[in-house]
Amino acid sequence: MQLTGSQILIECLKEQGVDTIFGYPGGSVLNIYDELYKHQHEIRHILTAHEQGAAHAADGYARATGKVGVCIATSGPGATNLVTGIATAYMDSVPMVAITGNVPVSLLGKDSFQEVDICGITMPITKHNFIVKDVKDLADTIRRAFYIAKEGRPGPVLIDIPKDVTAAKADYHYQEPKSIPVYTEYIKEKDIEEAIKIINESEKPFVYAGGGIIRADATEELLQFVEKLSAPVSCSLMGQGAFPANHKLYTGMIGMHGTKASNTAATECDLLIAIGARFSDRVVSNIERFAPNAQVIHIDIDPAEINKNIKTHHCIIGDVKEVLKILNERLENKNPNGWNKKIEELMNEYPVTYPQDDTLRPQYIIEKIYEKTQGDAIVTTEVGQHQMWTAQYYKFVKPRTFISSGGLGTMGYGTGAAIGAQLGMPDQQVIHIAGDGSFRMNCNELATITAYNIPLIIVVINNGTLGMVRQWQTMFYGGRYSATTLDRGPDFVKLAEAYGAKGYKITTKEELERALNEALSLRGPVLLDCHVDIDNKVLPMVPPGKAIEDVITEEF
C-alpha cells in the first residue's frame, strides 16, 4: 500500500516494537509529529525540556530495559543538541536510534535555515548513520538502523530524513524484524583449548569484568565461571551489577577509585582474564605497570578492542555469553588456595570506608539509600564524586541497575537517563543520585518529570563545588580552586517546588532518614537536597600516572 514517509516511519517503529519515543518537535519533523499524534495510543511520545534530555532518556531507557532507545529532534540546533547524548551512548555501547529531520533535499548543502550536516557531525560517534533522500529507501533504512544498533557490540545509529521525504509516498509492506544472530563466527576451537590450558595452569587467576557482560546478558555465566575458578573478581564502573557485589569472591571496583584488593590482585595475579571490558585508562592507569606478572586473556565481541590498550597473550573474539558457556562446560572446578586468602586479607585490611561520626557524609547517604531500598532499585548518576561514591557504597547485585555515563563522563546525563529508566521499568523504584554541579546542567528536565508525574527520587549531594575537580585541585594543584566553587543559586528545594515536585532540605542524618521514608512512600517526583562538607574526598584514589597498586587509601 502507498504511505507517506512519515506513515512509513511510524509503521516501521511499530514493527520494531517501539512503545516510547523521547523528543522535541520542530519544523523539519512536523509531518512525523502529525503521524505520532494519530498513533499516540500505540507509541507514547515523551516531550522533554531539551533535546539533550531526550537523547539521555532514550539511553537510560535502553540500559534499563535492554531494548533500543529512540529519540527524535528537528534539523539544525535540534539535531546538534542530540550530539552529546549520542556520543555518551556510543562510548558505553548503548543501542539507540536517533531520528532527525532535515531541510528538503533540494535545499541540502545550501546553508539553508536550520540546516546542518548531522551525518558528517555524528560519523565518529555512531555505529552507522544514514541520510534518506528517497522515500523508497526509508523503510529498509529504518530496519537496518535497528538491526545495526542491536547486533554485535551495540551502539547508536542516526537516521536523517529531509522534510520532503516525510511527505512523499512509496509502497510499504510489513516485515517482521530480522533476528539478531549470536556472534560466534570467530570463536575458534584452538582459542578455547588454549584458554583452558592457560586457566588450568594458573595459580593466581583474577577476573576483570566490564559492561560487555551486561550488554550480553551473561551475568549468570560469569557467576558460574568465577565460581568454577574460585577466582577473585572485580568489575569496572560500567560493569557494576555484572557480578553480585555481596559475593565472597567480589573484590570491589578496579582502577582509579578501585579497592586496594582489586588493584593489588590485578598487579600480582599470574593470569588476568578480561571479559567484556576495554582496559580503559581509568582502569589501567600506568600501562607499563599494569598486570606486569600476568598472562592476559581478553574475551570480547569487538576485535578492535583486542590489543588496543593492553597487549594480550591470548584472546577469544565472540559473544561473551557463548564463550563463557563453552568454557564453563569444559573447565574443571578449582579450589581456593593461598591466593584467595591473600586477597581476603587485603579486603579486610583495606576496606572502603569513611569516618563514622554524626556528620552527614556522602558515603552515609549512599549507604542509607541502599538500606532503605534493600538494594532493589535502579540507580542513575551524574558524573563526579557522587558517581564514584555510588559505585563504592551501593551494592549492585543485579545487571541494569546502575546507569551512569562511563566512557564520555557526561555531566547532565543522569536526570534524562533516570526519566528513561523509570518509564522503561515502571514497576521499579528509580533513584537518581546527582552532584549539585551536574544537576544544574539539565535540571530543566524537572519539567518533564512533573508533567508526566514520573515517580523519581532525585538525591542531590550538594557540596557547593565541582567536587571531583576540587579534589584534584586539593591534591595536585596546591589548593588553587580555580572556577570550581559554586557559590550561587538556585535553592534546589524551591526549584523543585516551582516545577511541582516535593522538595526537602537535608543537613542531618535524622532529616535524611525522615525524608527518605516519605519519598519512598509518595511514589511521585521528589528532590532531596543533601548539604555536605565541601572537602569530602573519594578514596581510594590512584594519582595520575601511577600504577594502580599505588593507591591512596586514606586522607592525610
Q: Which residues are catalytic?
A: 51, 113-114, 163, 468
- Show the cell assigned to 109: 548543502
What one-character DSSP code corresponds to residue 299? E
Alpha carbons 28 and 14: distance in angstroms, whole number: 22
Alpha carbons 407 and 413: distance in angstroms, whole number: 12
Residue type, 263: N
Pick the closest to residue 21 from 40, 50, 44, 2 (CA basis): 44
For helices 189-201 and 320-330, angle between their N-to-C axes, nearest 10 degrees? 60
The gap between the terminal CA atoms of the chain, to the nearest Å, is 73
Strands 295-300 and 314-317, how do they pair?
A: parallel
Q: How many CA atoms lie within 13 A of 427 on its CB side?
A: 1
Q: Which residue has the cell 507509541?
A: 43
Alpha carbons 147 and 422: distance in angstroms, whole number: 25
- Show the cell assigned to 502: 516535593
Is there a contact between 242 and 214 (Cβ–Cβ < 8 Å)?
yes
Residue 488 CB contacts under 8 Å (≥ 6 apart), including other chains: none
Count of residues making up the chain? 556
Alpha carbons 130 and 139: distance in angstroms, whole number: 12
| C-alpha dihedral sign at 19, 21, 27, 28 | negative
- Report the SS3 class of residue 532: coil
Residue 465 CB contacts under 8 Å (≥ 6 apart), including other chains: 436, 437, 481, 484, 485, 486, 534
